[in-house]
Amino acid sequence: MKRDNNYVVYHLHSDLSNGVTNIDSITKYNEYVDYAASLGMKAMGFAEHGNVLEWTFKKAKIEAKGMKYIHAEEFYVTEKIWWNDENEINKYAESLLGCDEKEAQEKIYEYMLSTRKQKRDNYHCVLIAKNYDGVRELNKLSSIAFNREDGHYYYTPRITFKELINTSDNIIICTGCLASILASDNTFLKDQFISFLTQNKHRCFLEIQHHNVQKQKDYNIALWKLSQETNVPIITGTDTHALNEEHLKGRSILQKSKDIHFDDEDGWDLTFKTYEELLKAYEVQNALPMDVVKEAINNTNVLADMIEEFKMDKSYKYPKLVEDNEQYIRQKIAEGIKEKGIDKYPNYNEYLEQIEREMDAYKHNKALDFIILEQDYKSEVRKEDIHCGWSRGSVSGSIIAYILGITDVDSIKYDLNFDRFMNVERVSLADVDSDWFDNERYVVREHLFNDARLNCCNIITFNTIQLKGAIKDVGRALGYSVGEAQDIANSVYVDEESGKETVPDEVRNKHKELFKYVDIVVGTITSIGRHAAGLVVSTNDLEADFGTLSLSTDPRPVSQIYMKEIDALNYVKLDILGLDCVGLIENTCRDIGIPYLSPDTLNFNDEEVWKDIAKDTALVFQFESGFASDFLKQCLSEKTINNIKKYNPNFSYLDVMAMASGAIRPAGASYRDELSKGVFNDNGNKQLNNFLAPTLGYLVYQEQIIGFLNKFCGYTMGQADVVRRHFSKKTGTENDIPMIKEGFVHTMTTDYNISEEEAEHIITNFLVVIKDASDYLFSRNHSIPYSMLGYACAWLRHYYPLETLTEALNIYSGGNSDAAKQKLENIKEYIKSKNITINPIKFGKSRSKFFYDRSGNSIYQGVAAIKNLNGKVAEELYELSQNKRYNNFIDLLIDIKNTTSLQNDQLDILIKLDYFSDFGEVNELTYITSKFNILYDKNKGFKKSIKQAKLGLDPEFVIPYCEEYKAAEVKEVNINAIATAITDSDRQQKYREIVKQCEKHKKTGEFNGYNYEKLFKLTEMPEDVKQRFATKISEAEYKNIDAYKLLTNIKYMGKPFSVKQLVSAQQEFMSYIDYINPNLDPRYVVVTQLDTSYSPKFAAYCLKNGKTEVMKVRKTRSGKGSLVYTTFKEQPFENGDILYMKKCKKEPKAKMVDGEWTRDYMNKEWWLYDYDIKEGINIDT
């Protein structure tokens, strides 16, 4: 079809190309689509570099604008993945002549594998899907290109030339830009490609481009000539990278900021062209006749006409693991009923009825296969002693899920709502999120990936430039200093209405040029990652369905479409979420030696546990600290509980906690204070009050809306859930409200003898409550199991405090966020309140992680977290301590050397951290260890002989421990120097004669030195003369030394290890200080986190109690108040110094108001006015 006034863009790059290349574009695909539609284009496509990212949403956007979608990718093509030097192979083969032929072939193969290399040829070529089969074929190729294991991925995702020419007729090929095979100097490959193009001219195009550079002109001419020779049609590809000149400059700015430059693009015109602009560009280029250009442009329309439109498959894609899913589930249900003893329950029939009702809903939603998947993988990982949280979200309402082990919550026992999860009134994709201990999520994910029946992939995420980053990036490129850009970035704030980041108008107006490009750059994709929890699980071929890719940080495939696209196509997505309290319960149960707790084994009515929670909520999931903690404690107060009992005699503490969990959410703001006091909310109607009595008359849960509509308005539970969703989404309620009113009035007048007028008044008021609460109402199906987890943590804390608190320290230590640090501090405070001490690392007590000592009611810190240490050596040392009682440090050092992997530098760290305190003082043990290392060899044991100088001990101490002491002895002297020193000529002559007698000669008569022993004897040379003129002295040596006995009797006479040294070691190797000495004056503090930018500020760590306060010090006197006795300038200190604080005081903070400094008496800070720097405080002081 010929269209003279328009064309089709297919070679187009958005910022999604940045997922493979570095800052290839800053234009978002929707901006291109909107512009193309405004130009009246009938079709368009994107040929991103090496990917098809977000292609399903691109398709939807393009088609929504009335255009045909073209599915394409600009592939990187390599001649072959692996290369070998043929000359080297031939030489190696020649060296094997005479060997067994089969053996030689195997060796050559191994040699080829070991010497193979890769080449970064990476030619460009655009592939386009002709139809849906082509889409799948192209997606598959795109996925293969990312294979890092077989070498396809090398700097970029690549396909081989062989894979390119083996594509089917469902793939259209355009030869690409100046980086294509035909533009290369690889004659061999070029000839093969031309042959392929010629044979497949029905689906191939030679791509010319409009860039006004000589290389492109020459290439266009060559392609036209080739087209004439082969009849392969030419086509114009724009290779567009920017929407317009502003976007192009924004791209250039960002590239400059990131120090990126593509040399081969110099002089290229990369902006989106209208038809007229494209014609003009070719006229300026002036390389080809314009009739040829127009034909090439029109061929974009021809290409578009070749493409068959297709619809996306939005059917539910549940993995099918068994043939007869209903029979399989019924069998598993029967097994679960027996295992849980449900058939012995007095209300067994109620369970059977609910099972059938749920089966109808599962079949109606075609979700049986999904339930099988959930049952299957969770039962398998349980065999590895890995458990998920008891339930999460609406699935808690399913009794089948409970019986099959998908959840652990009996929905009938705890009155949970199944229709909130699934019902026959609506059809939706089943979705179950599961909580796992964060450290075990990888195991769960790997189980799914390794299941041969399944095809799984991670879900892609995009890392984008945020406003502050954009300001700094653009500012850097525009010449702003780092400080200037940072100051502007610091002005960013979150707008309360929109919830988006913005900057004040005055800042924007002052830096108009900056923000012109900041606004374009913000949101640009810079890299890709994977979702932390989401996983697509399918039995489909995901590589063909939507394409996958790989990351250097994860060996498993990642989807090329993102979360919302996956949801729109109805693939099963499992969220493997991390929840540390699950790990706390699981690990504590393992430590105690009891089965993993479950709601079936816990007594939720244990008042001792609830009283414990009411006192302190540390570790109680959802209520650990702050407002939530205070609120729960108020709800559990005796006064509130008594009020609740008045209106709800059958209340349970678990329901109170669940209600509190809902009330602390945003929807509870209007009633939570009254609720926490047990004040009942009168809804003006007895029946409504009775219905809401479990939550003191307040609307707390989503399920209460469902129950209300069912009980009072004539809706089925499923219909009620549909209406609830309308309220939540604020759609369709205009049709619902009249029916709700009609149903309510009918029920009240018919069943409760209430007038129509009064019923109308009641429902009108209550609908306002529903509307106001619908946005944020919590789910009881979620709140009950989460409250159960919170109770379980408290139950373990109450009955097994040491084990529970030890595991809590292991799980919650190491977090860097302020919230994580605060949580850890709360746990430590709770530990103190239970008179449990947290002790530093110690031999015989510490293991890899925190470990408890029941006899001492204490917890010892772990060794593995120490810098340069690890869990292996920690456990080896602990095992030594348990297998043998050591009487001295030498026996321990011998076993450490012989039986552990502990290295000398690691041993030195442990000694400095006072780990071996039971064996002596730090400096003493360091000294002994240094001598032990000299005297002991792991393979040979203790040395029998040692040089005095090497050992470095006083001979008087050592001699009693050796059989022989060989003192230092002069072996040679300076003969000529002695002769010169003799002043008497006769004596000198006699000396020389003796020297002559002592000469040594070889058999040849050649001089060979002197016999010094003979010389010393004949001259009777005095010892002082020998020493004076010595040129060689033998070292003093201990023979047959009893090294073990010597070492066990060594006495260290030096200074002891100081507190400052210990604190310095703790900061270096542990990154924190834990030394506490209750005997010290609390005014002794260690300086940490010193900042001298303005008034010196530091964190003062108190050596008496371990608490930290931020202190400020005056830098200079500067006329400041009379309180200042010592200034930082007069007595400077540094991190690690120990100060004795002689005078400090809290003062109001200074703040700027209307351009003037004033004092803020509501906020105060500590100032240190007088101090001494202390040295030499010993650990045992």
Range 225-250 average pLDDT: 96
Range 826-845 average pLDDT: 94
One domain, residues 877 and 993: no
Range 817-846 average pLDDT: 91
pLDDT tens digit string along 96-144?
Answer: 888 888 888 888 889 888 889 999 999 999 999 999 999 999 999 999 9
**Is there a domain that residue 549 lies in?**
no
* pLDDT recorded at residue 187: 95
Range 1000-1028 average pLDDT: 91
Residue of 698 and 1120 predicted with greater confidence: 698
Domain total in the chain: 7
> At CA 1128, angle to CA 1124 and CA 1132, rounded to 5?
140
pLDDT tens digit string along 135-159?
Answer: 999 999 999 999 999 999 999 999 9
**Is there a domain that residue 539 lies in?**
no
The chain-wide mean pLDDT, for the chain, equals 93
One domain, residues 293 and 320: no
Closest CA to 122 of 192, 174, 183: 183
Whether the predicted pLDDT of 1084 surpasses 60:
yes
Whether the predicted pLDDT of 357 surpasses 90:
yes
* pLDDT recorded at residue 1160: 85
Q: How is residue 48 annotated by DSSP?
A: -
Closest CA to 795 of 590, 620, 594, 586: 620
pLDDT tens digit string along 604-641?
Answer: 999 999 999 999 999 999 999 889 999 999 999 999 99
**Three-state SS sequence of 947-991:** EHHHHCCCHHHHHHHEEEEECCEEEEECHHHHHHHCCCHHHHHHH
Q: How is residue 49 annotated by DSSP?
A: B
pLDDT tens digit string along 77-91?
Answer: 999 999 888 888 888
Range 820-835 average pLDDT: 90
Closest CA to 708 of 722, 691, 695, 693: 691
- Beta partners for 83? 117
pLDDT tens digit string along 272-301?
Answer: 999 999 999 999 999 999 999 999 999 999
Q: Are strands 1108-1113 and 1097-1102 parallel, antiparallel or unpaired?
A: antiparallel
Three-state SS at 804: helix
Domain containing residue 279: CATH number = 3.20.20.140
Q: Residue 474 sits in which domain range?
A: 466-522
pLDDT tens digit string along 762-799?
Answer: 999 899 888 887 767 889 999 999 999 999 999 999 99
Amino acid code (one letter) for 1087: V
One domain, residues 194 and 258: yes
Distance CA 1009, CA 1179 (A): 60
Quick one: pLDDT band at residue 1, thresholds 50, 70, 90?
Answer: very low
**Is there a domain that residue 53 lies in?**
yes
Range 854-877 average pLDDT: 96
Domain final residue, candidates 919, 954, 986: 919
**Is there a domain that residue 447 lies in?**
no
Whether the predicted pLDDT of 3 surpasses 60:
no
Whether the predicted pLDDT of 218 surpasses 50:
yes
Distance CA 649, CA 683 (A): 19
One domain, residues 276 and 382: no
Domain final residue, candidates 253, 280, 306: 306
Domain final residue, candidates 893, 919, 945: 919
Whether the predicted pLDDT of 68 surpasses 90:
yes
pLDDT tens digit string along 369-379?
Answer: 999 999 999 99
**Is there a domain that residue 193 lies in?**
yes
One domain, residues 35 and 156: yes
One domain, residues 300 and 370: no
One domain, residues 269 and 350: no
State percent of the chain over pLDDT 90.
Answer: 80
**Is there a domain that residue 505 lies in?**
yes
* pLDDT recorded at residue 287: 96
Range 559-580 average pLDDT: 96
State percent of the chain over pLDDT 70.
Answer: 99
Contact 897, 936 (CB under 8 A): yes
One domain, residues 294 and 321: no
* pLDDT recorded at residue 895: 97
pLDDT tens digit string along 14-30?
Answer: 999 999 998 999 999 99
**Is there a domain that residue 461 lies in?**
no
One domain, residues 850 and 976: no
Quick one: pLDDT band at residue 1141, thresholds 50, 70, 90?
Answer: very high
Quick one: pLDDT band at residue 1118, thresholds 50, 70, 90?
Answer: low
**Is there a domain that residue 1055 lies in?**
no
One domain, residues 298 and 343: no
* pLDDT recorded at residue 1181: 59
pLDDT tens digit string along 427-459?
Answer: 889 999 999 999 999 999 999 999 999 999 999
pLDDT tens digit string along 1089-1100?
Answer: 999 988 899 999
Count of beta carbons in the 10 Å neighbourhood of residue 936: 19
One domain, residues 301 and 317: no
**Three-state SS sequence of 266-292:** CCCCCECCCHHHHHHHHHHHCCCCHHH
Range 829-835 average pLDDT: 93
Quick one: pLDDT band at residue 4, thresholds 50, 70, 90?
Answer: low
One domain, residues 236 and 352: no
